Chain A
Amino acid sequence: MTHPTRRRGPRRRVLTTTVGLAALLVAAGCSTEQEGSSSSSGSSAAEDCINADEAQAEYTASWTSVKEAFGLTDFEPVDETVCQVDGEQWKAEPKQGDSYRIAFAAQGPTNSWGVLSDEALKYHAKELGVDVLYAAANGDATTQVDNIQQLTSQDPDAMVVVPMGDGISGQVKAAVDQDIPVVLCSGLLPDSSGAVSTVTRQYDLLGSAYAEWIAEKLGGKGKVAILSGLAGVPTAEYQKAAAEKTFAKYPDIKIVTTQYTQWSPTVAKTVAQNLIASYPDLDAIWSDSGYGALGVVQAYQEAGKAVPPITGDSINEFIQATEGTDVQYALSTFPPEMSSTCLDTALDLLKGEPVLDKVYVDSPSFTDADGAQYARDDCDGGLLVPSSAPEDLLVDLKMCKAS
């Protein structure tokens, strides 16, 4: 996953699935007695799944919150088996000194998403008194391969990796084989990587939720354009595939074109100008990003045409640009500050506490009906709102003005 690509920004409340989960699991006994309790997916893998019911409930909750926010009537989670990891296996005292040293193989500050992802983890580490060994990949998987090797050689207590692509799986596996628990953060890798836990927002959820909102908005009939980010980049392709799968349920919805915006409002504006000329009767636009949606809105407004219902992630600038207009939209977020949850997960492992193998982060979703309240005039246009990142951090990063 190439995260230069990831254009998502900060937001206010990240309701993570880990919140209260530890307590819930501990209360539930965390015992293997529940092995074999079937998850909603009914997967055979669930037979070996620890605490499947509770874990599955948390997973389902992240879908339910989006369903409610978008007012969807028919929106069910895709099959996914979420289990508890036996934290005892990774329980350990700090290898050096009194505090844990956590390696952080980060995306790097290549865009506002990357900046906040990096800084949110460092900020949280400072709060917890944890040392961070930091290495930025600057969005490049090859660089990250080297970074992970170097970080592993420093023998950290645990490692958090923001994966830049599947090509790093071998290095992640090597780190795990050296008894370094690895937590994947804001992205996915194949199971063969051996990562102990994955903390991310689910791409399937975002892609299909946007598509379902459009389908219901159109009454299951109409012409739709898909505007994805970068061709071949997993973070974009996962969402697009989920959207196409959802639209396929509606035979009267026709995807008239699929275009890529490079997550650039400039490119999106040019693409949208072409759409206006080619498909003047377009009924809706599925976009995976707020930057793309911003360019689309500009193009339609300059052409003096009504903006079709549109989706994307909730950048501040988009909400400001549509304030006071009748643009219909559905937005959600891919919060960069989930990196602090990644750190918590790594530390939970070191303390022997139960964590999930997949921590699907929930975050605010909303439509034009209540979107205006999230606009922040005191913050930068690229900020993903609402942000749960600490205010003083946002001010330090000059993303918001001090109040």
Chain B
Amino acid sequence: MTTATTGSASVLTRLSTVLAPLAGLVLVLVLAAVTTPQMYTPDVVRIVLFQVGIIGIAALGQTLVLLTGGIDLSISGAMAMTSVVLAVTTGGSDGRLVAGVLLSLAAGLAVGLLNGGLVVLRGVPPFVATFASLVLVQGVVIAWTGGAPSGRIPAGLSWLGQGRVLGQVPVPVVVFALLALAALVVLERTTAGRRVYATGFNPDAARLSGVRPGLVVVGCYVASSLLGVVAGMVNASYIGYVDAALVRSLNLDSIAAAVIGGVALTGGRGRVGNTLLGTVMLAVLLTWLIQLGAGAGARLVVSGAVIVLAVFMQGRPVRIPRITAREKDTT
């Protein structure tokens, strides 16, 4: 009986990690309906979906790294770098688009390997390693472009940021959906996915089980950087120009989306569904605040408060009172 009760408590505790962000999302949606009815017009829904797409792609990479117990602060660097690589190598010409994309992916691969290498081979804390990578990438971009990144993104890529499926659904959210589905399958249905969880939950135990945690960690950092490149392509093609201020807040957004959804900062806990939930909530929240006409200060306060609340709840999971056999007898 005790085991069964404990099992129920565990299920409920796990459910709470989904229910809490879901409740938050419902709350925001209701508040939005009351305060800004235009939130539900097709135009605004499309804005939300676009935000879901761009934040979600970056958040997927962040989720993989978080699951291993790390964090990736270089995602925005990979995005900015992609924009510059695309513009500089293609000169805005569709003819060189493939080369530009391949070079962007190669650059993303290099950043991912650097992050993974620093963390695994040198034992550098992920926060420090990826922040160093971010600074390094920024430095390389400044040195390469003389500090004035500029140029156009090939028009042939505009469908990625500006296109709509069936005339309504922004392409970025479709890309995110496909990538999320792939991540879901890999994490939930493959050996590789189980190794990711095992590594994040207990790397020593994983090693004893024959998993090579280092390889898993490096793989996740590489995947994160490559997803950052994809997010960078989406963002660059959305505006069509190199935008030096393009991805200033994407690091925070990607972490926030995963954490709000319930992915643990300590590693080993969290699912793609959590990230999806957190991404949708963040996108709705950010759009709602703009619709409300909230100032930048209010937006940061609300976003920060939601993240703090999410982290707080992660640290103190909902506890279900355990009924012992003795208590059972007395009733």
Bound-state Cα–Cα, A270 to B295, Å: 15
Q: Does B290 reach chain A (CB closer than 8 Å)?
A: yes
A231-B296, A270-B47, A381-B152 are contacts. A115–B146 as well, Cβ < 8 Å?
A: yes
A109-B142, A266-B235, A302-B162 are contacts. A277–B147 as well, Cβ < 8 Å?
A: no
Q: Does B36 reach chain A (CB closer than 8 Å)?
A: yes
Chain A 248-278, CB within 8 Å of chain B: the 1/0 string?
0000000011111011111101110110111
Bound-state Cα–Cα, A196 to B297, Å: 35
Q: Does B244 reach chain A (CB closer than 8 Å)?
A: yes
Q: Does B148 reach chain A (CB closer than 8 Å)?
A: yes
Check if A265 sits within 8 Å of B248, measured CB to CB. Answer: no
Chain B 252-281, CB within 8 Å of chain A: the 1/0 string?
000000000000000000000000000000
Choose, from B1-9, B37-45, B213-221, B318-326, the stretch at the interface.
Answer: B37-45
Closest CB of chain A to B318's CB: distance in Å?
35
- A232 CB contacts on chain B under 8 angstroms: 296-297
Closest CB of chain A to B93's CB: distance in Å?
15
Bound-state Cα–Cα, A264 to B241, Å: 10
Q: Does A295 reach chain B (CB closer than 8 Å)?
A: yes
Residue of chain B at shortest CB distance from A114: B147
Within 8 A of A (CB), among B36-58: 36, 38, 41, 43-44, 46-47, 50-51
Check if B293 sits within 8 Å of A257, measured CB to CB. Answer: yes
- Number of A interface residues, CB 8 Å? 44
Closest CB of chain A to B299's CB: distance in Å?
9
Check if B38 sits within 8 Å of A265, measured CB to CB. Answer: no
- Number of B interface residues, CB 8 Å? 34
Q: Which of B152, B239, B240 has the most CB of A within 10 A?
A: B239
Check if B150 sits within 8 Å of A277, measured CB to CB. Answer: no
A264-B243, A265-B239, A266-B238 are contacts. A259–B290 as well, Cβ < 8 Å?
A: yes
Bound-state Cα–Cα, A328 to B291, Å: 25
Check if B293 sits within 8 Å of A231, measured CB to CB. Answer: no
- A266 CB contacts on chain B under 8 angstroms: 235, 238-239, 243, 245-246
Check if B146 sits within 8 Å of A397, measured CB to CB. Answer: yes
Q: Does A367 reach chain B (CB closer than 8 Å)?
A: no
Check if B47 sits within 8 Å of A111, measured CB to CB. Answer: no
Q: Does A163 reach chain B (CB closer than 8 Å)?
A: no
- B43 CB contacts on chain A under 8 angstroms: 273, 276-277, 303
- A273 CB contacts on chain B under 8 angstroms: 43, 46-47
Bound-state Cα–Cα, A323 to B246, Å: 25
Bound-state Cα–Cα, A111 to B46, Å: 32
Check if B243 sits within 8 Å of A110, measured CB to CB. Answer: no
Bound-state Cα–Cα, A295 to B161, Å: 14
Residue of chain B at shortest CB distance from A396: B146
Q: Which of B38, B51, B148, B296 has the most CB of A within 10 A?
A: B148
Residue of chain A at shortest CB distance from B143: A109
Bound-state Cα–Cα, A111 to B245, Å: 9
Q: Does B287 reach chain A (CB closer than 8 Å)?
A: yes
Residue of chain B at shortest CB distance from A108: B147
Bound-state Cα–Cα, A291 to B41, Å: 27
Residue of chain A at shortest CB distance from B39: A277
A–B Cβ pairs within 8 angstroms, 16 of them: A109-B146, A231-B295, A257-B293, A258-B293, A259-B290, A260-B296, A264-B243, A271-B290, A273-B47, A274-B44, A276-B43, A277-B41, A278-B38, A291-B243, A298-B239, A381-B150
Q: A259-B290, A264-B246, A266-B238 are in contact. List 15 more A-B contacts (CB 8 A).
A: A108-B147, A111-B148, A112-B148, A231-B296, A263-B245, A264-B244, A264-B248, A265-B241, A274-B44, A274-B290, A294-B241, A380-B150, A382-B148, A399-B148, A399-B150
Which chain A residues have a beta carbon within 8 Å of chain B's beta carbons? Answer: 7, 108-112, 114-116, 230-232, 256-260, 262-267, 269-271, 273-274, 276-278, 291, 294-295, 298, 302-303, 317, 380-382, 397-399
